[in-house]
Structure 1
Amino acid sequence: MDKREHWLNETLAELADCLDADADERDIAGTVTGALAALLAPADVGLRFFGDEGAAAPAPAASSSPRVAGLFDLETETGEGPTLWSFRGGLAAVDERLTELAGRWPRFAPAARERGYARVTAIPLQGPGGRLGAAGVLAPSGAPTGEAELRCARTVLRVTAGDVLRRRELDASHRVTSQLQQALDSRVVIEQAKGVLSARLGVSPAAAFERLRGYARRHGLPLAEAAGAAVDGALPVSALVTERRPG
């Protein structure tokens, strides 16, 4: 097993541990960035996740050094640079010379050169569910990035994108399920309150509901909260006897 294969196995295992531990996206980005920086040294690495495809603002991001972190802050401020370019278009760039990119990134490219970088690589994070973000690799002058290292990096980024996108889909599904359950619970307690108040007030369930709704509006309460108080006995009947059905 050569060192690249060992790196790939170790990185995928570490990524799996992050996911099993329910690490947040910022922790995952940090793990992947650190691993890529070790693989591609002496290059520096920045990684960005975005909220939705085409979103203007980045979600969690990580950088391998303060020097490159400042450049990716500049990328956010100016709206130009390798990770934004790669994410928006789903495009990759490999070892492009910064001296030739002033037309594409008129502010980012000179700033990167001032910090001692000579070449840039950008790789989109893309999985079956769409694009998640992009990685930017900034390297000083020297030998270009090896093809074997690039294959390893792409593999890790592809796995990362797929796992994070699946997690987002699962989280979204859980949120929808929770919202539906809350709506059902609210409907149940409102129906219970209508029955309880109908019996206590000696009015029809419809009339009881109108009085409950009027009370909730007058006191700035969610209807379900007022209904729960009625069911629990925390809402005295006397608070409702003056409520009248509209017209």
Structure 2
Amino acid sequence: MSTRSEQDVAGSFVSLATALATGADVVELLAELTEDCARLLDVDSAGLLLADGSGVLHVLAATSADTRELEVFQTQRVEGPCLDCYRSGEVLRVPDLEGQAQRWPAFAAVALGMGFSSVHAVPMRLRARRLGALGLFGRRSGALDDSDLSLGQALADVASVAIVQNSSAPAPAEDDAVLESHLQDALRARVVVEQAKGVLAYSGSISMAQAHAQLRGYARDHGLRLSDLAAGVVERRTPVRSVLEHRSSTADLP
């Protein structure tokens, strides 16, 4: 069981609620949410997958390069616990990944090779609509207890609300057409952020993780939405050198 305190949990939800109320950038909010999962739950990392209108899953946030790679692998091979969780809409527990090698042979081999020994996944949903899945990855075997899974589900629910209440969308998600608009907004924002990370990584000869930290730090220190800053970098409206050379007060961001 994790060593979180009630104060830690309350602080996380207050921060997320404040971000939602003030129209925070959905990509940044989801990045913070996955970091909260890794910090508050008895796991080592977390990744969030969102489905597009065709039911194809895309990585929206991940707390480490290994987790992002593993989530992408699942979407490319159409195999893995997060995909099964999304399809079923139910919590999926994998306390010992070695014991599931026959169920997901390719995924298990890659995950074990990266040092992961357990995986749990909770669904993202809005009423009857399945939106995606939140993957929780551990480097040691063992089941998450009910309190951890309940908190993980609550955080996944916050992620769902964040996506459908994204302030860049024109209206609340009252029907399927409007919901699709919200989902596509979130996916487009994610693509732009990835493009900007690539520009910074190439221009500054840094890793993608370092590029992401520079983007987030610059956006926070200048009061910008992460996706707006990313668009500025991609479209060359924001000087790449300014972002690369910025000494952020949030330099410890992952």
- Which TM bucket (shorter chain)? 0.5 to 0.7
Structure 1 residues 148-167: aligned runs within 5 Å: 148-167=147-166
* Preserved CA contact (<8 Å) 1:124 1:134: yes
Count of matched residue pairs:
173
Paired residue for 1:108? 107
Partner of 1:132: 131
| Length-normalised TM-score, structure 2 | 0.59
SS of the aligned residue for 2:105 comes to coil
By how many angstroms is 1:163 displaced?
4.5
Structure 1 residues 44 and 162: CA distance shift in structure 2, 3 A? same
In the TM superposition, 1:142-153 aligns within 5 A as 144-153=143-152
Report the 3-state secondary structure (helix = DSSP H, G, I; strand = E; otherwise coil) of the residue aligned with 1:170. coil
User: Structure 1-normalised TM-score?
Assistant: 0.61
Would the aligned equivalents of 1:11 and 1:156 in 2 still touch at CA under 8 Å? no
Between the aligned partners of 2:159 and 2:82, the Cα distance in structure 1 is 16
Q: Where does structure 1 lack aligned partners over 5 or more consecutive residues?
A: 177-247
Deviation at 1:143, TM superposition (A): 5.0
- Name stretches of at least 5 consecutive residues in structure 2 with no aligned partner: 179-254
Matches for 1:166-245 after TM superposition, within 5 Å: 166-167=165-166, 170=171
Residues 59-105 of structure 1 deviation map (CA, whole Å, 9 limit, x = unaligned)? x6111111211111211221112222211221211243211222322
Aligned Cα RMSD in Å?
2.8
Structure 2 CA distance, aligned partners of 1:128 and 1:158? 10
Decide whether the 8 Å contact of 1:82 with 1:122 is kept in 2: yes
Asked if the contact 1:43–1:140 (Cα under 8 Å) also holds between the matched residues in 2, the reply is yes
> Is 1:69 matched with 2:60?
no
Q: Does the Cα contact within 8 Å between 1:44 and 1:68 map onto a contact in 2?
A: yes
- Secondary structure, in 3 states, of the residue corresponding to 1:55? coil
State the SS of the aligned residue for 1:15: helix
The residue identity in structure 1 corresponding to 2:74 is E
Residues 122-176 of structure 1: CA distance to partner in whole angstroms, max 9, x if unpaired?
Answer: 1101232522211111111255423322222222222332443355682567x98
Q: Distance in 2 between matches of 1:143 and 1:81?
A: 18
> Retained in 1: the 8 A contact 2:96–2:142?
no
- Return the alpha-carbon distance in structure 2 between the equivalents of residues 165 and 82 of structure 1: 24
Q: Which residue of structure 2 lines up, in the alignment, with residue 49 of structure 1?
A: 50
Of structures 1 and 2, the one scoring higher in RCO (CA 8 A, sep 6+) is 2
Residue aligned with 1:94, SS: strand
Q: Is the counterpart of residue 33 in structure 1 residue 6 in structure 2?
A: no
Describe the shift of the 1:152–1:104 C-alpha distance in structure 2 as closer, same or farther (beyond 3 A): same
1:98 aligns with 2:97: yes
* Structure 2 CA distance for aligned equivalents of residues 75 and 17 of structure 1: 33
